[in-house]
């Protein structure tokens, strides 16, 4: 297991937002975390801005019972489309592009599995980006989708 044994035990549920906020819609997962952090989350939940980190996230996901991953997902649909799936739903021949930005999501999860650090329950929320151009602002469709994902996460986590 990767988690530093000298530090506090990780909370059982992790909500991990990833993405590059410098590339407009690519930052959708991080924007979800920013908005979700405005609400009081249960004691057993940690919100984490993973940015564009990849290998560094092995320590973050290790020791958890459940993780939610929020990210931009290139599934070929209209901008703002929301996907909800589990890693086992992805077949390697599919054309969905999900990334932890420096290394593919599936590679990170497979590496965690190899090191016996993979949480038992993983749910991925992806938002189809409209623009990956430099800029801090989300496109209108993705901005609305981020708000919808925040509402979905509030329901998942029983946040009032």
CA distance 73 to 47: 20
Place of tokens 């593919």: 104
Question: How many of the other CB atoms lie within 10 Å of CB of 92?
Answer: 5
| 4 within some domain | no
Residues 45, 151, 21: CA angle, nearest 5 degrees: 80
| 114 within some domain | yes
| 6 within some domain | no
Q: Which residues contact 92 (CB under 8 A, 6 or more apart)?
A: 106
What pTM, to 2 d.p., does this model score?
0.85
- Beta bridge mates, 157: none
Task: Please give the residue range of the domain that contains residue 66.
Answer: 11-155
Look up the CATH number of the domain holding residue 18.
3.40.50.1450
Q: Residue 88 in contact with residue 26, Cβ under 8 Å?
A: no
| 1 within some domain | no
Instruction: Record the tokens describing residue 84, joined without a space.
Output: 């909800």
| 2 within some domain | no
| 85 within some domain | yes
State how many domains the chain has. Answer: 1
DSSP 72: E
| 112 within some domain | yes
Instruction: Record the tokens describing residue 26, joined without a space.
Output: 């690519």
Mean residue pLDDT of the chain comes to 85
| 132 within some domain | yes
pLDDT at residue 91, rounded to an integer? 66
pLDDT in tens, 57-106: 878 888 899 999 999 998 899 999 999 998 888 765 444 455 444 456 66
| Over residues 18-40, mean pLDDT | 96
pLDDT at residue 97, rounded to an integer? 53
Q: Please determine, for residue 146, whether its predicted confidence score (pLDDT) is greater than 80.
A: yes
pLDDT in tens, 101-131: 445 666 777 777 777 777 889 999 999 999 9
- Name which of 2-6, 142-146, 150-154 the model is least confident about: 2-6
């Amino acid at each position: 297991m990767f988690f530093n044994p000298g530090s506090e035990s990780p909370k059982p549920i992790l909500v991990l937002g990833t993405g590059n906020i410098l590339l407009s819609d690519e930052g959708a997962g991080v924007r979800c975390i920013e908005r979700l952090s405005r609400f009081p989350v249960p004691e057993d939940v940690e919100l984490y801005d993973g940015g564009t980190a990849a290998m560094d996230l092995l320590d973050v996901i290790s020791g958890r019972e459940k993780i939610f991953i929020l990210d931009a997902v290139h599934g070929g649909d209209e901008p703002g489309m929301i996907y909800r799936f589990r890693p086992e739903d992805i077949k390697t021949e599919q054309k969905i592009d999900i990334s932890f930005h420096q290394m593919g999501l599936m590679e990170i999860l497979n590496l965690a599995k190899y090191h016996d650090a993979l949480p038992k329950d993983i749910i991925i929320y992806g938002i189809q980006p409209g623009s990956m151009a430099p800029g801090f602002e989300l496109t209108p469709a993705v901005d609305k989708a981020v708000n919808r994902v925040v509402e979905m996460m509030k329901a998942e986590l029983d946040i009032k």
